[in-house]
Amino acid sequence: MTATATRVPCTVVTGFLGAGKTTLIRHLLENARGKRLALIVNEFGDIGVDGEILKGCGIDTCPEENIVELANGCICCTVADDFVPALDQILSRTPKVDHILIETSGLALPKPLVQAFQWPTVKSRVTVDGVIAVVDGPALAAGRVASDMEALAAQRANDGSLDHDDPVEEVFEDQVACADLIILSKGDLMDADGSARANAIINEHITHAVKIVPSVHGKVDPSVLLGLGLAAEDDIENRKSHHDGMGDHEHDDFDTFIVDVPSVSDPEDLARRVATAAEKENVLRVKGFVEVSGKPMRLLVQAVGPRVNHYYDRAWTPGDQRRSQLVVIGLKGLDRPAIERILVG
């Protein structure tokens, strides 16, 4: 079966932690050109930071009720329990949606999700328009898929329970191998040589038919990403994976938890503490919202390794609980007390 007008197209956006998936999707939502969109956001953690960022956009073509969050569980492991009900919820909306975006967590494998579109109850209603993999350009140019490879090497050496030499790289390779299009993010942070190195690494894991598109701040024309019409679920056998022929994959190599932090008076000091935690511990990703004393706006904090960004994304609303919380994601064996001491200050 090929894509038809009777089935709603879905675009799967995958990519490693902090690669820039949410930034890319926000740009898509803001430049939909009248196309009515819906979004499924899959968080690996207990609070929906990415979903909250996108819900705060105030975009008419993707209202808040069209954004569904699947929190605290990898979508590729919970297709039947979480993804299908979310799909049912979106397809019941009036007016009907024109296109569905699915943002997977940084740890998710896209292939099992694409395979779910072969199920008769799913296949009759939706199709995979294409799989987009967002790749962190500067990290890849430096020869790594995570920002702190030293911590990764130490964890790998000390943990005899790992099934693979480098599970993080295997996740990256599986995501890229399943993609129909690669977005090489953060182009403004690379020179020409760095971009060439990143492209060369990607080319080792893709077929010649897959294009690599450079981006800065997620600004890619929606016409490049949407309307591919590839029906990727019909091409699943050509999307090779390290996990082909295996049962469920596990995320036992990763820890995630929430740190409650007090309101802060100096966002720069908090950013320094986040960077310190990343440098001293096995932290890959930190994200969350923080209250700043005397400010009506909430502070969004996002970090990939020691690289920290923060800005005020919107005003606190009467319905918000002004709780300052940061989601910490890292390799197995995180020293939670030590990280909490650094972040809380």
Per-residue pLDDT of the chain (345 residues; tens, 9 = 90+): 344 458 999 999 998 767 888 889 888 888 888 888 888 887 544 444 444 544 445 555 544 555 665 554 444 444 555 677 788 888 888 888 999 999 887 767 788 888 888 887 788 899 999 999 999 999 999 987 745 445 434 434 443 433 434 467 788 888 999 999 999 999 999 999 999 999 999 999 887 678 899 999 999 988 889 988 888 998 887 787 665 554 444 545 567 788 899 999 999 999 999 999 988 887 877 888 899 998 999 898 878 777 788 888 888 888 777 888 888 877 778 899 999 999 997
Residue 157 is predicted with a pLDDT of 46
Measure the CA–CA gap between 298 and 295, rounded to whole angstroms: 8
Identify whether the C-beta of residue 298 lies closer than 8 Å to the C-beta of residue 289.
yes
Residue 53: per-residue pLDDT: 46
pTM attached to this predicted model: 0.65
Enter the tokens of residue 300: 């969004």
Q: What confidence score (pLDDT) does residue 12 get?
A: 94
CA distances from 117 to 86, 210, 330 (A): 13, 21, 30
Q: Is 31 helix (H, G, I), strand (E, B) or coil?
A: coil
- The pLDDT, as a whole number, for residue 116 is 82
| Run of H or E including 199 | helix 192-203
Cα separation, 315 vs 299, whole angstroms:
9
Q: What is the pLDDT of residue 167?
A: 65
What amino acid is encoded at 107 in this protein?
L
- How many residues are given for the chain? 345
Q: Locate tokens 């994200």: which residue?
A: 287
Cβ neighbours of 227 (radius 10 Å): 15
Cβ count near 245 (within 10 Å): 5
